[in-house]
Amino acid sequence: HTAQQGRMLCAPHVWPDPGGPRVLGTMGILTLVLCSCSGHPESLPWDLPAMSSWEHQGGLVFIHMESSLYSLPCSPIGMEVADPTYRWVQDGAAPRLFSVTKEGHLLFQHFQAGDSGKYSCTIFYMKHGIPVSQTFHYSIFGYHVLGGLDTVLLFHSKLCEDEWTKRFLWGLRDKLRQLEIEQHCKFQLTATFCFPSLNSPSDEFIIQVQLEVSLFGPHWDEHCKSQDMETVTDCYRKTVQHNLGQVQLALTRFFKEHKSFHVTGADSPSINFTNEFVGFLKTEQCSGGYGQTKQLQRCLDCCIVCPPGTFSPPRNSQCSPCPVGTYSPTYGVALCTPCKDGMITRVLGASSVTDCVKKERTKQAVSVVHRIPVLLLIILPALLVINFLFILSSCYWFYQEYQVSSPRASKKTGSTMRMETVTSFFRIPRQGPQAGPDAGPASDTGHLDTSTSQGGYKKHRHGAPSPAVTSNLATVTDETTPVLTLEDRKDTF
């Protein structure tokens, strides 16, 4: 184990050089001593590694969307080395060419949400005859300050057909293009509606056009180029508020000068679209693919680009995880990409197409559903037989429970006593073989004496109950008075 440690020390992968030749010499002597003690003279201090390298975390970098020109240095500490070589790469992205200055600065012109990601810059140089490299890692996020403008335009026209409306919108875009360049903004047509006019519904229509104005057009931040990173956000806010007023005035003036738009067709005369109304609404909402994640401390209300695995539709202020069955592999998406071929993702927030898997569980569930009829054919007959046997056994036990027992039984249940009492009241004859060979006077129910409510005794003819007995029949309860035979009555006297 000691020899293995010595070998590792004698052939280090990273050769630290924090203090120049003096420190390097001291460490070389210590390494020589360790190598001598470990018994490995082949690992000498002058057998230096081919290259010494360091890894550094450069931290988070926030770049405003549509920045005119953003310059990111390779080293945040401003290293001064002789004849350095720089190499920039974007982690997890397809290889591409970057615009890098002689000093190694990475240039972003018209920064977009998709330019966000993890970047690495490596500096290669020679020091004391040893090749050295230092790599700095950055996480770059796009952001933008709040501010926008919604415009509603109303035009009168004689037609309300999609073909003519499309031609009109194409001409409108062309004429607004020059205004975009002048005002450093962007216009986007978001919706169009057509409905009859109230004045003459039969032959006149109103075309409503919704226009979204973004204040972050080419060179919108020219006045903030020389600002420090800590104060540049305040400059952006002021520029947006100033441009809001300027764009509003420019649009009002534009539609006063361009009151009518003529659209011509191949086989029909020209149709006029006349502007009748221009309305503005200032908005403070995030653009599509951005959300208020509060990562930028100097601007907590700014909108930060949504990372992979999340999305944010336009006019939404939050980044949400991609639903199951979708994914987003890049930064700043407004909608997640659905998995193809009926595949799904196991969890929310998938960030790669490899997260899409087949619906194995769903297929298993479908196969089980298809097997259900076969299972029913096997189980249903058995269930019917069991139910039939259960019904038969229930009837048998019900019959055994409530059948009339023999009158000579010495031990009777409460229910049997009540049934015998009712039988005695109705004087049901028991003759022949039903009475049994041992039937005696006690079984002759024809000589029945019963007590009335007044307490007296009366004797009646065989087979006819007295009126008192008939009246008492309706008052038979669970606590029925025992039936007295002739022998029992003699004993009582």
Across 47-56, 62-71, 229-238, 429-438, least confident range = 429-438
Kindly indicate the confidence band of residue 474, based on its pLDDT and cuts at 50, 70 and 90.
very low
Q: Which of 51-65, 72-86, 137-151, 269-283 has the highest mean pLDDT?
A: 137-151
Collapsed DSSP state (helix, strand, coil) of residue 305: strand
Average pLDDT over residues 104-123: 93
Question: Is the predicted pLDDT of residue 222 greater than 50, yes or no?
Answer: yes
Distance, CA of 162 to chain centre? 37
Distance, CA of 405 to chain centre? 73
Joined tokens for residue 484: 């007295």
Collapsed DSSP state (helix, strand, coil) of residue 231: coil
Angle between helices 21-38 and 2-10 (to 10 degrees): 150
The per-residue pLDDT for 321 is 96
Question: Is the predicted pLDDT of residue 405 greater than 60, yes or no?
Answer: no
Residues 264 and 76: their CA atoms lie apart, in Å, by 60
Average pLDDT over residues 106-124: 93
C-alpha torsion 241→245→248→251, nearest 10: -110
Angle between helices 232-257 and 162-183 (to 10 degrees): 130
> Which residue has tokens 């008939």?
470
Residues 144 and 217: their CA atoms lie apart, in Å, by 12
More confident site: 464 or 95:
95
Average pLDDT over residues 450-467: 40
Kindly indicate the confidence band of residue 480, based on its pLDDT and cuts at 50, 70 and 90.
very low
Q: What is the 3-state secondary structure (H, E, C) of 104-134?
A: CCEEECCCCHHHCEEEEEEEEEEECCEEEEE
Task: Fold for 306-359, please state it.
Answer: Tumor Necrosis Factor Receptor, subunit A; domain 2 (2.10.50)
Secondary structure element (H or E) that encloses residue 487, with its range:
helix 486-492
Report domain 52-143's class: mainly beta
- Contact status, residue 107 vs residue 69, Cβ threshold 8 Å: yes
Residue 59 pairs in a beta bridge with 138
Residues 445 and 424: their CA atoms lie apart, in Å, by 6
The per-residue pLDDT for 424 is 54
Joined tokens for residue 54: 């360091």
DSSP state of 18: S
Kindly indicate the confidence band of residue 323, based on its pLDDT and cuts at 50, 70 and 90.
very high
Collapsed DSSP state (helix, strand, coil) of residue 209: strand
Compute CA distances 427 → 34, 115, 329, whole Å.
Answer: 124, 108, 97
Buried b (16+ CB within 10 A) or exposed e, 445-456: beebbbeeeeee
Question: Is the predicted pLDDT of residue 315 greater than 90, yes or no?
Answer: no
- Contact status, residue 281 vs residue 150, Cβ threshold 8 Å: yes
More confident site: 443 or 215:
215
Question: Is the predicted pLDDT of residue 49 greater than 70, yes or no?
Answer: no
Residue type, 279: G
The per-residue pLDDT for 312 is 95
Question: Is the predicted pLDDT of residue 298 greater than 70, yes or no?
Answer: yes
Average pLDDT over residues 233-242: 93
Residues 435 and 420: their CA atoms lie apart, in Å, by 14
Average pLDDT over residues 377-387: 81
Kindly indicate the confidence band of residue 15, based on its pLDDT and cuts at 50, 70 and 90.
very low
Average pLDDT over residues 263-277: 82
More confident site: 481 or 193:
193
